[in-house]
């Protein structure tokens, strides 16, 4: 199994006390060392995403805006909105995060491996076509999906998003691209409250009430995602893997546990084995309780590796 990560991700600075802090990824990587998992993982440093692949998702005006807003070395972090911040290294970290997805696509389609996890930050699934928001600068999973569709043997892909927050950016980008299935489970009503009412054959919104537990989650996923996957039959599956639906997470009010993330990962691997030659590229989105993030993400990649 390939793990794409880069030291630059932890140089992405945010405001003091911000939930999407460098310690998130640092704690996860340290946990893998602590439990001696790192030695069993194949770590690869990605290249920054190419301009043409980024422009397949975001317009030049958005790229120019991020570049213009980015502070220079030694300067303070600046807000794009109350939630989303740029430090001197943030733009480069975001380019490398999108690059991880593209590197994963290239590796999987070159038969280097069938399973990839991108241990990245900043996250990406809230970034809309021309709007950075929700801690997200570029929509990395969307960039990866578009890169996959460049390949001659990839006609359809799926993005399966189990972050506690709706994948509004992925829906915005692909709502009129029927070759991309986007399934998103999320607490509702809750941030970002955008695109949750989008009705398209390739968009599956799976809202969950605050307080929902693993049984509620499993029933909703089976009811909504499985028929969509059976109809779409993706050639490659992407996962927006957010672990902020965990019961300990401070930013939401769902009550999932590690075994629920194992369950949904097993469901995804089963679908991939059936439709996608086992090929899955997963990327880290949310998860803001450090210990819950570490244990949940670990459970996810161990299930992915099976």
Q: Among all residues, which ones are annotated catalytic?
A: 126
Query: Are 284 and 120 within 8 A, CB to CB?
Result: yes
SS3 category, 31: helix
CA separation for the pair 82, 67 (Å, rounded) = 19
Instruction: Give the number of other CB atoms < 10 A from CB of residue 31.
Output: 18
Instruction: Give the number of other CB atoms < 10 A from CB of residue 219.
Output: 12
In the chain the domains, ranked by start, together with CATH numbers, are 2-305 (3.40.800.20)
Task: Output the pTM of the full model.
Answer: 0.98
pLDDT tens, N- to C-terminus, the chain (306 residues): 999 999 999 999 999 999 999 999 999 999 999 999 999 999 999 999 999 999 999 999 999 999 999 999 999 999 999 999 999 999 999 999 999 999 999 999 999 999 999 999 999 999 999 999 999 999 999 999 999 999 999 999 999 999 999 999 999 999 999 999 999 999 999 999 999 999 999 999 999 999 999 999 999 999 999 999 999 999 999 999 999 999 999 999 999 999 999 999 999 999 999 999 999 999 999 999 999 999 999 999 999 998
């Amino acid at each position: 199994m390939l793990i794409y990560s880069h030291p630059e991700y932890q140089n992405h600075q945010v405001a003091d006390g911000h939930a999407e802090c460098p310690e998130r990824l640092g704690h996860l990587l340290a946990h893998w060392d602590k439990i001696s998992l790192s030695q069993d993982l194949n770590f690869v440093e990605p290249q920054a995403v190419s301009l043409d692949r980024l422009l397949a998702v975001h317009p030049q005006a958005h790229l120019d805006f991020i570049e213009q807003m980015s502070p220079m070395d030694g300067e303070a972090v600046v807000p794009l909105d109350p939630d989303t911040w740029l430090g001197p290294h943030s733009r480069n970290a975001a380019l490398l995060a999108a690059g991880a997805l593209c590197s994963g696509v290239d590796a999987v389609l070159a038969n280097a491996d069938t399973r990839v996890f991108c241990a990245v930050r900043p996250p990406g699934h809230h970034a809309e076509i021309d709007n950075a928001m929700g801690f997200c600068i570029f929509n990395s999973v969307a960039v990866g999906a578009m890169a996959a569709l460049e390949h001659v043997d990839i006609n359809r892909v799926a993005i399966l998003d189990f972050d506690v927050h709706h994948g509004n950016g992925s829906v915005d980008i692909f709502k009129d691209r029927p070759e991309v299935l986007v399934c998103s489970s999320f607490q509702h009503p809750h941030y970002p409250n955008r695109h949750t009412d989008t009705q398209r054959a390739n968009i599956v919104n799976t809202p969950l009430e605050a307080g929902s537990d693993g049984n509620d989650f499993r029933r909703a996923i089976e009811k909504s995602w499985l028929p969509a996957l059976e109809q779409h039959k993706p050639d490659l599956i992407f996962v927006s893997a957010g672990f902020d639906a965990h019961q300990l997470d401070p930013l939401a009010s769902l009550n999932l546990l590690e075994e629920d993330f194992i369950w949904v990962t097993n469901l995804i691997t089963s679908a991939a084995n059936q439709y996608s030659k086992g090929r899955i590229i997963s990327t880290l989105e949310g998860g803001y309780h450090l210990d819950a993030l570490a244990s949940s993400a670990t459970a996810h990649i161990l299930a992915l590796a099976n």
